[in-house]
């Protein structure tokens, strides 16, 4: 089934907005990467004006592509969501199934709603755990780098002290030699 022009016009494309430096005229620039990051650009004095301009440009561009029969790129998320149904079958032990039904009834919701709640809660917890793990890893890397830098600084400081002491001793020997001679 062919998608309508209205379908494409209603797609929610991610927009990237950049501040234009004052020395280059100021304002803002926006692009819709899915439609061509460098070929598809609009600007404006304010963020609101820039968004309005890029959306108007998007509508005009999509109408032209549709009229000419040229394939219209869709946002990645839209493509990905169209590839899944939102349903899947899971085989679980009977005891767990019974326990889930009981808990759902205790909460006054359907089994489907309760399982969705549990999956969402577990998924969000997993995302938080991953984010925390990434943060800890980055922190450990920074700590390691700082420790290594501190070691290098201490090592260089000790070498500098030894070098200065050697120079001082050499000066003393030189002065002593001159006085003796």
Q: Domain locations in the chain?
A: 5-76, 94-172
Q: Which letter, b or e, does each residue of 107-125 get, where b requires 16 or more Cβ atoms within 10 Å of its Cβ?
A: eeeeeeebbeeeeeeeeee
CATH class of 5-76: alpha beta
Low-confidence ranges of the chain (pLDDT < 70): 77-82, 84, 150-157, 177-181
Burial class (CB in 10 A: 0-12, 13-18, 19+), 93: exposed
pLDDT of residue 49: 94
pLDDT of residue 95: 95
d(CA 18, CA 31): 9
- Report pTM: 0.44
């Amino acid at each position: 089934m062919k998608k309508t022009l209205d379908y494409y016009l209603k797609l929610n494309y991610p927009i990237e907005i950049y501040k234009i430096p004052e020395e280059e005229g100021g304002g803002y620039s926006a692009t819709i990467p899915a439609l061509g990051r460098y070929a598809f650009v609009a600007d404006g004095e304010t963020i609101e004006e820039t968004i309005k301009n890029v959306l108007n440009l998007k509508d005009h561009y999509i109408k032209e592509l549709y009229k000419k029969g040229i394939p219209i790129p869709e946002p990645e998320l839209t493509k990905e969501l169209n590839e899944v149904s939102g349903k899947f079958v899971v085989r679980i032990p009977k005891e767990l199934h019974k326990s889930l039904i009981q808990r759902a009834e205790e909460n006054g919701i359907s089994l489907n709603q309760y399982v969705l709640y549990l999956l969402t809660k577990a998924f969000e917890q997993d995302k938080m755990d991953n984010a925390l793990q990434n943060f800890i890893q980055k922190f450990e890397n920074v700590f390691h780098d700082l420790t290594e830098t501190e070691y290098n600084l201490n090592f260089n400081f000790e070498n500098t002290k030894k070098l200065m002491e050697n120079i001082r001793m050499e000066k003393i020997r030189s002065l002593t030699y001159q006085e003796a001679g």
